[in-house]
Structure formats: structure tokens, C-alpha cells
Amino acid sequence: MKPRSVAARLPNACLPGADWADCYELLFLGERMTAHEAARRALGSAPRWIRSLLALRNRVVAPLGLKAGAPSGDVSLVGAFPILSGSDREMVLGLDDRHLDFRIVVEVHDGPADSQVIGVTTLVRRRNLFGYFYLAAITPFHKAIVPALLAQVNEPARRPVS
């Protein structure tokens, strides 16, 4: 199955004040998994083309004073994203920055028959005009990247690539 875009709900308790959201869902037929496992499989290791785009993004935004990667220190991560909260059914990852705050919410719930539905919702709260411009610039890439990452849940378990 391929991920599909579905309506995202705002407001959302995972990021109060979010003013932009999207959501992709995948019908998963296979072993049961928790939201943490789904997040790890989707976000734990990106394909090379996505890693290249993110490296380019980091080089471009670093001189602007924006965060260019995961925070250092004693922070639990899934891929490059700090874990903010989690349960078997929902993992919330994200960062706050000067231009915008974002959350990635990975949810797992029962689907038809013996399947699960795995959803990835992106929530954004833009803080200033630059946040609006930044989101407009990255949205076309985001709409290609998130479904590609979510599709990885269907792949056999892999080791994260550094």
C-alpha cells in the first residue's frame, strides 16, 4: 500500500496555536507495531536523496541562525527528531525555532480486518514573516519527503544509516 494524504485537524493539542498541518496515512498489513516502532521505521533512516536535500537545507539556513539539525546533549531522538512524548499509540517529535515550531505526530490505530493505520501528521506554528516564507519554500519538498518516509514502514526492518 502507498501512503495517502488525508485531512489534518486543527487545532491540535500536540502544538497549540499551529496554523498549518498536513497528514499522510498508510494502511499497514503485517505484524502489530507501536507508534515508536512506526516512527523509527519511517523516520529513523532516510533514503540518500532525502539526506542530500536535508544537508543542503542545513547549509542554506545555518547562516540565517536557524537550527540545522538535532539538538546535542541528553535528548532521545528518532532519526534527527527529538522525542517530546510518546505512548504505544502516539509519538510526538519536534523542535521549536525562531521562525517556526513544528511537531511530527506518528499515530497507530486499528484498521480494517487485521491491519493498522499509521498516520504522520506535521503541525507548524509560524512565528514571523520568515516562517511563512520558509514554509512556502519547503512545502513542495515536504509533500514528496513525508510519503516517501512513511512508505518505509512497509520495508523489512533496516539498520539506520548515519
Q: List pLDDT tens digits, range 63-118.
A: 777 766 666 666 788 988 999 999 999 999 999 998 999 999 999 999 998 899 99
What is the structure's pLDDT at 69? 61
Whether domain 4-154 has CATH 1.10.1760 = no
- Given a cut of 60, whether residue 159 has pLDDT beyond it is no
The whole-angstrom distance between residue 54's C-alpha and the CA centroid of its chain comes to 13
Closest CA to 51 of 148, 118, 159, 134: 148
What is the structure's pLDDT at 31? 85
What is the structure's pLDDT at 162? 40
Q: Are 116 and 125 in contact (CB under 8 A)?
A: no
Q: Are 147 and 2 in contact (CB under 8 A)?
A: yes
Question: Could you count the other beta carbons within 10 Å of the beta carbon of residue 84?
Answer: 18
The whole-angstrom distance between residue 131's C-alpha and the CA centroid of its chain comes to 18
What is the structure's pLDDT at 157? 56
Give the mean model confidence (pLDDT) for residues 43-56. Answer: 86
* Dihedral pair phi/psi, residue 161, rounded to 5°: -100, 130
Q: Give the torsion through C-alpha atoms of 13, 17, 22, 26, to 10 deg.
A: -10
Lowest-pLDDT range of 33-37, 70-74, 83-87, 151-155: 70-74
What is the structure's pLDDT at 128? 95
Q: Is pTM beyond 0.85 here? A: yes
What is the structure's pLDDT at 73? 65
Give the mean model confidence (pLDDT) for residues 133-145. Answer: 94
Q: Give the torsion through C-alpha atoms of 162, 151, 36, 22, to 10 deg.
A: 110
How many whole angstroms separate alpha carbon 95 and alpha carbon 106?
15
The whole-angstrom distance between residue 58's C-alpha and the CA centroid of its chain comes to 17
